[in-house]
A = this chain, B = another copy of it.
């Protein structure tokens, strides 16, 4: 009997594991990838889907089109339980047995128990969630001519990290067009971005934060730093800032203030913190040698610092786990611990601007935007070659007014 490798989740980590395996496997193992969708999508582009600048069609990358199905079996199923002791995974559609398990079940939004987050806020947690937000915004701009309700065009973004800022900037840079299309005076729509930290994008240098904030404000986005969200309502957000309570009004609210791991991992016998498993140096569960965890549901440290969960980290984890499994199948041992190479991070600010760090060098402006696109297209190239870049890739163009 061939060893069975089961990969659950088809995000950056799971998919890269499968791709690495299929590239080098010669029938030494049965590899199965299970995902609840037929398609992979780039989580890093969900803000574009939510604004309608990236179409649903372009954002779906179908597993059966990019996988070599003679080497990796694909099953569409939603995983509901992990049973490490019986080496089984339970899905809605059946029970799956494995010898090696790779968990890449991604993230969930973290509401920190704040009242109303669950019920009243949109989240950019999946492609479908992004499409729903797109519809909601489009509908409100479309109906404004009837409702004349300014609140309908007031959008509140909770969170001044990557997702929140990229979303606010993408929307900000589209406001001119949305107003033109809908015949709406430009001063009606309002975007407010609220964060707890004392500056936006705290992972970057102070200078980069300032540049990003200036650019955001040029789109008309109001930035509130040091604001602690107390409650999310249907028509606004209550914050505490400088010791005082204040209510920001707006009928569309995005919650992008935090993420946690997977709830399937959380309720599994695997030791975890909020759905994230603190993996060993080889990205394995410390309890089960045959279980690997990649992506956002892995807590991965180096020199005692926890790596921030990013697509870049997830993809490198997937590559590493794929290679580890290939070694094991060859009867060898993986002796090299996982080492994250932080090439850089870029936050796009609209289509033609951005800030970031590349190889420890701060960058901004058009070059940052170019790199951001380059990074996304490189991912597409890695999983589907030039054809996929051509079909699904993003190419920069200035939007016309």
Contact = CB atoms under 8 A, between A and B. Distances in A.
Contacts of A52: 57
Contacts of A180: 62, 64-65
A149 to B, nearest CB: 16
A76 B38 contact: no
A332 interface: no
Given A57-B55, A387-B400, A400-B387, A38 B74 contact: no
A344 interface: no
Contacts of A74: 183
Nearest to A182: B38
B181 A76 contact: no
A183 B400 contact: no
Interface string A120-131: 000000000000
Contacts of A62: 180-181
A80 interface: no
A76 B183 contact: yes
Nearest to A77: B145
A180 B182 CA distance: 40
B181 A65 contact: yes
A52 B58 CA distance: 11
Nearest to A401: B65
A76 to B, nearest CB: 6
Interface string A153-164: 000000000000
A146 B38 CA distance: 13
A195 B294 CA distance: 55
Contacts of A76: 145, 183
Interface string A178-208: 0011110000000000000000000000000
Nearest to A141: B38
Contacts of A39: 181
A39 B55 CA distance: 18
Contacts of A146: 93
Contacts of A87: none
B387 A64 contact: no
A378 interface: no
Contacts of A391: 400
A4 interface: no
19 contacts: A38-B142, A38-B181, A38-B183, A39-B181, A52-B57, A55-B56, A55-B57, A62-B180, A64-B180, A64-B181, A64-B183, A65-B177, A65-B180, A65-B181, A74-B183, A76-B145, A93-B145, A93-B146, A387-B400
The 9 closest A-B pairs by CB, nearest first: A62-B181, A55-B55, A55-B57, A64-B180, A76-B145, A64-B181, A38-B181, A64-B183, A38-B182
Interface of A: 38-39, 52, 55-58, 62, 64-65, 74, 76, 93, 142, 145-146, 177, 180-183, 387, 391, 400
